[in-house]
């Protein structure tokens, strides 16, 4: 049977709502998710969502709030320094990894194979095993170093899916815009969803 576990990493780019919503959607769909979070992501989450996640005493409710209860999926949390985690090895099979949001620092570390934390290492593993790696970077404007690092990641097989919500879908709320990006991530993972209206199809 093919592996179905997914890896989700949250890093310190602006856009914490994308990562949190992605996790919630995957758990609602009953998926098993290996979750890891960088210290910078904790800071950004506190600022953007007013949620304080404890990396040393992780509690899903700190991250998802009321939405944490009763979700059919399963989260296995791994501390970002824990290189003993299964996801640090290619022999641990997964259906792919998403870094959402993905900071420029993490993009640089991946592009240059630094493996300084579990997030970099798991990304490295997904690339070397030729598995799906989806990066959701957020920065503007971009300097040439950042552009080159993104290009390097794309050249070695990563999907670069910038947090750039579209307006042709006529979003009414911020949630619509968040769901547009999360829906596009799910498209890349081959996961069915109804998070966004599709161009060329009549609206329901």
**Burial zone of 56 (CB within 10 Å; 0-12 exposed, 13-18 middle, 19+ buried):** exposed
Using CB under 6 A, count the residues that bind ligand FMN.
16
The nearest distance, CB 164 to ligand FMN, in angstroms, is 12
Q: Are the C-beta atoms of residues 195 and 169 closer than 8 Å to each other?
A: no
Residues 72, 30 contacting (CB under 8 angstroms): yes
Ranges within 26-45 binding ligand FMN (CB under 6 A):
38, 40-41, 43-44
3-class secondary-structure state, position 131: coil
DSSP-assigned states of every residue in 121-154: HHHHHHHHTT--EEEEE--SS--HHHHHHHHHHH
Binding flag, residue 181, ligand FMN (CB under 6 A): no
Structure tokens at 30: 């009953």
Is 103 an interacting residue with respect to ligand FMN (CB under 6 A)?
yes
Distance of CA 17 to CAs 104, 108, 132, Å? Answer: 18, 22, 22
- Interaction of residue 8 with ligand FMN, rule CB under 6 A: no
Q: Which listed residue (8, 21, 75, 139) binds ligand FMN by CB under 6 A?
A: 139
Between residues 7 and 44, which has the closer beta carbon with respect to ligand FMN?
Answer: 44
Binding of ligand FMN at residue 124 (CB under 6 A)?
A: no
Q: Does 82 bind ligand FMN (CB under 6 A)?
A: no
- Binding of residue 14 to ligand FMN (CB under 6 A): yes
Structure tokens at 7: 């890896």
14 or 115: CB nearest ligand FMN: 14
Which residues contact ligand FMN by CB under 6 A? 11-14, 38, 40-41, 43-44, 47, 103-106, 138-139
């Amino acid at each position: 049977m093919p592996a179905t576990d997914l890896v989700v990493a949250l890093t310190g780019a602006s856009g914490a709502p994308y990562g949190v919503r992605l996790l919630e959607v995957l758990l609602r769909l009953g998926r098993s998710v290996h979750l890891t979070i960088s210290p910078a992501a904790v800071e950004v989450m506190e600022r953007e969502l007013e949620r304080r996640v404890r990396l040393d005493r992780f509690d899903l409710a700190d991250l998802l709030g009321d939405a944490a209860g009763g979700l059919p999926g399963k989260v296995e949390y791994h501390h970002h320094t824990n290189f003993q985690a299964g996801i640090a090895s290619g022999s641990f099979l997964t259906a792919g990894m998403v870094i959402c949001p993905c900071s420029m620092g993490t993009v640089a570390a991946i592009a240059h194979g630094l493996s300084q934390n579990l997030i970099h290492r798991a990304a490295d593993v997904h690339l070397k095993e030729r598995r799906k790696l989806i990066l959701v970077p957020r920065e503007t404007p971009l300097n040439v170093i950042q552009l080159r690092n993104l290009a390097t990641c794309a050249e070695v097989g990563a999907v670069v899916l910038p947090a750039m919500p579209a307006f042709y879908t006529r979003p009414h709320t911020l949630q619509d815009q968040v769901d547009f990006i999360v829906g596009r991530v799910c498209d890349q993972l081959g996961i069915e969803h109804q998070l966004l209206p599709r161009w060329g199809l009549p609206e329901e």
